[in-house]
């Protein structure tokens, strides 16, 4: 099959920055090509931001913070704007999904789900700031104390290319809900859906300068790096690779910036012999192949108890072979095109490594029928040893490693045997084992007999190389606000007297 994809209607003529209420080009006029993952042909030009563009965007955000009204508006008033943003995202969900799917290669049905989740994020944080309870303490007759939750200033938001619109909403909603102003740096591979934010925000009545966006690359001297090193951006919320997170951590250190890091993963799905195997197979197939495998919480290492291992591998491989690879725009597609040829090459190179390290039981190459674009077969390796690279390293594509274990202790050792610690999935009918395993597994989030569903009130984040800090629910409010303690004297003033002769 060759390309039958067509650009969605309403494509902008170019991707520009958005600063102080206006779409603008880079000051030096530089641009780069954005690629359609189905053909790998460039389909649009995007402005490439540098330090000077970031300086302009930060100045705009700073002005909007200092002059208001956004930071001092009542939470209920800000919540109304957020509610309108959610409504607009919902009414445009089809367009948003088409753009996202076209730009990133995500299957259209899954892109639609992500657009809906983006609307939910705004609705959720609108509700949360209105319901916010502030802490207060008192020592009867002596003093009372309360905590002021204050917006911090200009938040720098740096996002990756997987589910870009939803991940941007995950940072934008709490950052602005709490009264900050922002500069967003979207991922360079997928800037299209982000170009819709300005129209959505303007229509919802977000004051000028509260939202600013600089497109382009992350490396030194470019937009991402310049945002991290800008002295007037006191906090950075970053989602991306662990190695990029380490670099940002070091680059932000001279200013002691507030950092939230949502990083890579190599999450285990542990299947015990007493599990409901049908449910476990369905969920673990979905867990690694949905979103093209480009999911931070993908259960990309499946650990299976020895007594059901052969059956599991056989049934899993058979189901993986039935996963439908197709064009992103086809509503029956389950796995579509990886985001970019560079990423395709990376995933394919891991498949070749896997063929040396383990037993290939499904897939293993370019998806049949697709001569162009970044289409990879859902690929399953069995008998993967813990020292294999495909066991240890994040592939971020439709590739899974299956490993047997003999005992609970070995399962735990294998589960914890990588540098990552984002998620873990546990399949067992033994409740005691499920809870004990959850306690011991090194993962920020655990799903028991469940696929990846998440209540927005719960903390989201990883341990070890998977992240720093948590967002989600009140954790996001904590991250995007300063907790200022105010102490009030209720009794006599007992000032110690110093230096009085």
The kind and range of the H/E element at 403 are strand 399-405
Minimum separation from the CB atom of position 422 to ligand NAD (A): 6
Residue placing its CB nearer to ligand NAD in the complex, 162 or 428: 162
Question: Where on the phi/psi map is residue 218: left (φ > 0), alpha (ψ -120 to 50), or beta?
Answer: alpha
Please confirm, yes or no, whether 296 is among the known catalytic residues.
yes
Who's near 387: CB < 8 A, 6+ residues apart?
Answer: none
Minimum separation from the CB atom of position 433 to ligand NAD (A): 27
Residue owning tokens 């049905």: 109
Minimum separation from the CB atom of position 251 to ligand NAD (A): 7
Minimum separation from the CB atom of position 445 to ligand NAD (A): 10
Contact 44, 192 (CB under 8 A): yes
Q: How far is CA 116 from CA 88, 230, 453, 459, 463, in A?
A: 11, 33, 14, 20, 28
Residue placing its CB nearer to ligand NAD in the complex, 56 or 230: 230
Identify the active-site residue in 262, 305, 357, 471.
262
Q: What is the DSSP string of 11-69?
A: --SSB-EEETTEEE--TT--EEEEEETTTTEEEEEEE--BHHHHHHHHHHHHHHHHH-S
Identify the active-site residue in 188, 294, 296, 305.
296
Q: How far apart are CA 307 and CA 422, in angstroms?
A: 28
Residue placing its CB nearer to ligand NAD in the complex, 167 or 351: 167
**Residue nearest to ligand NAD according to CB distances in the complex:** 218
Taking the CA of residue 447 as centre, how many other CA atoms within 13 Å lie in the half-sphere pointing to its CB? 23
Minimum separation from the CB atom of position 234 to ligand NAD (A): 16
Q: How far is CA 309 from CA 270, 278, 316, 443, in A?
A: 11, 14, 10, 24
Residue placing its CB nearer to ligand NAD in the complex, 21 or 469: 469
Residue placing its CB nearer to ligand NAD in the complex, 264 or 378: 264
Residues binding ligand NAD (CB under 6 A): 158-162, 167, 185, 187-188, 217-219, 224-225, 228, 239-241, 244, 247-248, 262-265, 296, 394, 396, 422, 462, 467
**What percent helix, strand, coil does the chain show, rounded to 5?**
40, 20, 40
Residue placing its CB nearer to ligand NAD in the complex, 346 or 433: 346
Please confirm, yes or no, whether 30 is among the known catalytic residues.
no
Minimum separation from the CB atom of position 130 to ligand NAD (A): 26
Taking the CA of residue 429 as centre, how many other CA atoms within 13 Å lie in the half-sphere pointing to its CB? 7
Residues annotated as catalytic are 262, 296
């Amino acid at each position: 099959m060759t390309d039958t994809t067509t650009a969605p209607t309403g494509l902008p003529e170019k991707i520009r920055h958005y600063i102080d209420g206006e779409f603008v080009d880079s000051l030096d006029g530089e641009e780069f090509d954005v690629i359609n993952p189905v053909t790998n042909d460039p389909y649009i030009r995007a402005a490439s931001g540098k330090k000077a563009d970031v300086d302009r965007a930060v100045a705009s955000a700073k002005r909007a913070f200092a002059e208001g009204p956004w930071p001092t508006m009542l939470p209920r008033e800000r919540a109304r704007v957020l509610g309108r943003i959610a409504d607009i995202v919902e009414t445009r969900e089809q367009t948003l999904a088409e753009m996202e799917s076209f730009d990133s290669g995500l299957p259209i049905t899954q892109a639609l789900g992500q657009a809906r989740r983006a609307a939910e994020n705004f609705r959720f944080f609108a509700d949360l700031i209105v319901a916010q309870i502030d802490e207060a303490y008192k020592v009867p007759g002596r003093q009372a104390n309360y905590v002021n939750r204050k917006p911090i200033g200009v938040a720098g938001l740096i996002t990756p290319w997987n589910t870009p619109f939803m991940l941007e909403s995950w940072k934008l909603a709490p950052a602005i809900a709490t009264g900050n102003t922002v500069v967003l740096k979207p991922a360079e591979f997928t800037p299209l859906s982000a170009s819709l934010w300005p129209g959505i925000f303007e229509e919802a009545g977000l004051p000028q300068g509260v939202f600013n966006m600089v497109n382009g690359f992350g490396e030194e001297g470019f937009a991402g790096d310049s945002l991290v090193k800008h002295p007037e951006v006191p906090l950075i919320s970053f989602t991306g690779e662990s190695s990029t997170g380490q670099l940002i951590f070091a680059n932000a250190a001279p200013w002691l910036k507030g950092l939230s890091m949502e990083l890579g993963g190599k999450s285990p799905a542990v299947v015990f012999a007493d599990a409901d195997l049908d449910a476990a197979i369905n969920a673990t197939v979905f867990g690694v192949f949905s979103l093209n495998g480009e999911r931070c919480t993908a259960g990309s290492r499946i650990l299976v108890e020895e007594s059901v291992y052969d059956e599991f591998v056989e049934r899993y491989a058979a189901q993986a072979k039935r996963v439908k690879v197709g064009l992103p725009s086809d509503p029956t597609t389950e796995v579509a095109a990886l985001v970019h040829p560079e990423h395709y090459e990376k995933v394919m190179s891991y498949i070749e490594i896997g063929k040396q390290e383990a037993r290939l039981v499904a897939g293993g190459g370019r998806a049949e029928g697709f001569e162009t674009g970044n289409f990879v077969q859902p690929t399953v390796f069995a008998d993967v040893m813990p020292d294999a690279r495909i066991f240890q390293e994040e592939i971020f594509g439709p590739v899974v490693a299956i490993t047997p274990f003999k005992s609970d202790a070995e399962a735990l050792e294998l589960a914890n045997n990588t540098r990552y610690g984002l998620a873990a999935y546990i399949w067992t009918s033994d409740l005691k084992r499920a809870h004990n395993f959850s306690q011991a597994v090194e993962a920020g989030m655990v799903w028991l007999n469940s696929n990846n569903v998440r209540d927005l009130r719960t903390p989201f984040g990883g341990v070890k190389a998977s992240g720093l800090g948590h967002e989600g629910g009140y954790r996001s409010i904590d991250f995007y606000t300063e907790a200022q303690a105010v102490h009030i004297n209720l009794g006599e003033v007992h000032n110690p007297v110093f230096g009085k002769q």
